[in-house]
Structure 1
Amino acid sequence: MVVTRLRLRGFRTHERVEVRLGPGLTVVHGRNGIGKTNLVEGLYFGCTARSCRTSNERECVAFDADAARVEVDTVDRHGDEHALSVGFQPGEPKRIRVDDALVERLVDHPARPLVSVFLPDRLELVKGPPALRRAHLDQVVSALWPSRTATRRSYKQALAQRNALLGRVRAGYVGREALAPWDLELGRHALALCADRAETVALLQPGFVQIAAELGLAGAPELRYRPRTKADSPEGFAAELAERLDGDLERGFTGHGPHRDDLALLRDGRELRVYGSQGEQRLGLLALLLCEREALEEVRGAAPLMVLDDVMSELDADRRGLLVARLRRAGQSVITTTDLAHVPGGGEADVVRIAVTEDGVLQEAQAA
């Protein structure tokens, strides 16, 4: 799935914008502070119906606008064209359309492109709490194997049921023995979820090691999945829960299971989250996103759209060349930069260039 055109109306600083994207590399260039990041955020918003920068989507609506609208045109591998649109007005439900038909969700729709985004703000994925990395890992599982999305959903439902039952036990409405069936049910879904996560990390690990080294992350890079449970059967997981039941009853919720797992990014056995510099953390995040992209290409047969905002400023000339060469092997990519010269090959004929001018007007540069 390739994005061919993006239209923004009342989105952030862009009152009315329409740009064409190339099937390979598109470079958005211009000085800082005039809307490059807003443009790629709009692209992400149009592909997913959510922002990649904020949970308060009121911020996405321009100051002088009542609503924001993003339209994305795509072409699938069969050459069929599709039109995606997301309309957002604060206080109202989003209006999401695919080929003029209203849909409730865009993320699961087959007509929308997979998209991966690198933003400086996403460093929280490396140095933030485990919940961010768990959620990201589960998103990768779902992107690789869409049918496995149900595993995480089933686990969350069983966990909610057990937590509700813990409240009834605490209140004296039922005895502890009422938890036993739910402990086994939770264990069944927990082991399936752990297996999906472990398989995904094993798939990503070789690519992460190679790409991190190419980008200049010193030492021995490693991805490591850290499950809380050591059980290899639902009965074993239920036994672990039984050992912790007093603590669960005191807290009022289940404190053990895959909802407490973590994904560690390591160098020489030490976590980048704790021991890495900000530059090393950026390289680790970039390597993670790129190895996920290659895994998706291997499993799904198509690389996702890769959006890279302000990544070139942190890389030397050799690393920039390696990054662009890897991006151009397959799939579609959008890079923002303050200087077109920072993108090796950015002036070549097959690269689409979008210049953001001083007054914020976007002008599509013609290929050389």
Structure 2
Amino acid sequence: MRIVRLALRNFRSYPTAEVELGAGLTVVSGRNGAGKTNLLDALYFGCTGRSARTTNDRELVRFGEQVTRVVVMTEADDGAHELSVAFESGQPKRLMADGVRVERLLDVPGRPLVSVFLPDRLELVKGTPSLRRAHIDQVVAALWPARAATRRAYAQALAQRNALVARIRAGGASAASLPAWDRELARHGVALMADRAAAIESVQTRFGTIAGELGLDGDPAVAYRPRSRAADAGGLEEELAERHASDLERGFTQHGPHRDDLALTRERRELRAYGSQGQQRLTLLALLLAEREAIAATRDAVPVMLLDDVMSELDRERRGRLVELLRGVGQSVITTTDLEHVPGAEGADVTRLSVRDGVVGADAQTERAA
């Protein structure tokens, strides 16, 4: 499956736009503030139903307007498909797949998978563990869609146990009922830990190789760091039971997979604390590319890479290696302020678009080649 066309209306800086993407690499050029990042966000929004940049959908609506709509048209072996997302302030989002309303685009079979690199996403490397946990769970869902239910089941059990802890602490329930929820939480928790461990295992070797190819030295590595040491549900249940008094004192569940983390290291030191900005950028890029390879090897689908301003802090050699990794494998969209920053951008197999003052058009070189 590939994305053929993107159409949008009143999305951020764009009153309207319609864009055709190439089957391989598409390069979007324009000055700073022209709207290149907004175009990537529209692609992400249309494929997932959410923004890559904000949790407040009202920020996606163009100033002075009330409604925004994004349509993504795709082609697959079984024909053409259409995904659309519409949002009006004060109303629930309207998600459609081939003209049928759906609850979540993420559950639509055959939906294009997307992976996005934005400068803001460096928080994945240097931010809180909750961001990295959420990311691991997204990778699990991309690798094995059916396993996404494990994370939801764990979250529901955790919410129930926390509610019970709060009631016991307030004198409204008996502590005798807590072991039952220990057992339930442990059952889902061990399954969640196994999914996360398997996902990171599929990425580890690829991450080290790609990071080295991009110029990140010092033996870069990625590792799953579970909070629990339990090997099975019984072991996790025992760990939870040992913490009853502490949980009741604090008023919530302090132990379990909801406290896990992802370790990104270089020279055995956390890049979160000891990596430079450039090293953190390379780490994030290598991680996303490694995940893309792992997903492509597991499923008959290659995630679309959306890369914003990725070339600005890479030297020419690393830029060239990145383009080599991207070309010929699935679709990728790169934004840049200067076409010369993307080696091979003049090639006949590259689609070039230019953005100026909220208007997207084919690059002049692309038009001449056509």
Q: TM-score range by the shorter chain?
A: over 0.9
Structure 2 CA distance for aligned equivalents of residues 79 and 268 of structure 1: 48
Deviations 1:18-68 (A, max 9, x none): 110011010000111111111111111111111000111211111122211
In the other structure, the counterpart of 2:161 is: 162
Structure 1 position 14 matched with structure 2 position 1: no
SS in 2 for 1:107: helix
In the other structure, the counterpart of 2:66 is: 66
In the other structure, the counterpart of 1:277 is: 276
Deviations 1:115-174 (A, max 9, x none): 000000000111110000000000100110011111111111111121122123223344
Structure 2 CA distance for aligned equivalents of residues 233 and 72 of structure 1: 43
Higher mean Cα deviation, 214-223 or 159-168? 159-168
In the other structure, the counterpart of 1:248 is: 247
Structure 2 CA distance for aligned equivalents of residues 236 and 46 of structure 1: 43
* Kept in 1: contact 2:113–2:301 (CA 8 A): no
Structure 1 CA distance for aligned equivalents of residues 358 and 180 of structure 2: 61
Aligned length: 366
In the other structure, the counterpart of 1:119 is: 118
Q: CA deviation at 1:17?
A: 0.6
Q: CA deviation at 1:362?
A: 1.2
Structure 2 CA distance for aligned equivalents of residues 202 and 124 of structure 1: 22
Q: CA deviation at 1:301?
A: 2.1
In the other structure, the counterpart of 2:57 is: 57
* Kept in 2: contact 1:84–1:97 (CA 8 A): yes
> What amino acid does structure 2 have at the position aligned with 1:137?
I
> What amino acid does structure 2 have at the position aligned with 1:235?
G
Q: CA deviation at 1:82?
A: 0.5
In the other structure, the counterpart of 1:44 is: 44
Q: Flag structure 1 segments of 5+ consecutive residues without an equivalent.
A: none
Structure 2 CA distance for aligned equivalents of residues 85 and 111 of structure 1: 14
Structure 1 position 298 matched with structure 2 position 297: yes
Higher mean Cα deviation, 321-330 or 257-266? 321-330
Structure 1 CA distance for aligned equivalents of residues 244 and 314 of structure 2: 50
TM-score where L is the length of structure 1: 0.97
Superposition map of 1:342-361 within 5 A: 342-357=341-356, 359-361=357-359
In the other structure, the counterpart of 1:95 is: 94
Q: Flag structure 2 segments of 5+ consecutive residues without an equivalent.
A: none
SS in 2 for 1:312: coil
> What amino acid does structure 1 have at the position aligned with 2:34?
I
* Kept in 2: contact 1:82–1:111 (CA 8 A): no
Q: Let me know the Cα RMSD of the aligned residues.
A: 1.2
* Kept in 2: contact 1:155–1:190 (CA 8 A): yes
Structure 2 CA distance for aligned equivalents of residues 85 and 230 of structure 1: 44
Superposition map of 1:100-179 within 5 A: 100-179=99-178
SS in 1 for 2:106: coil
Structure 1 CA distance for aligned equivalents of residues 241 and 101 of structure 2: 47
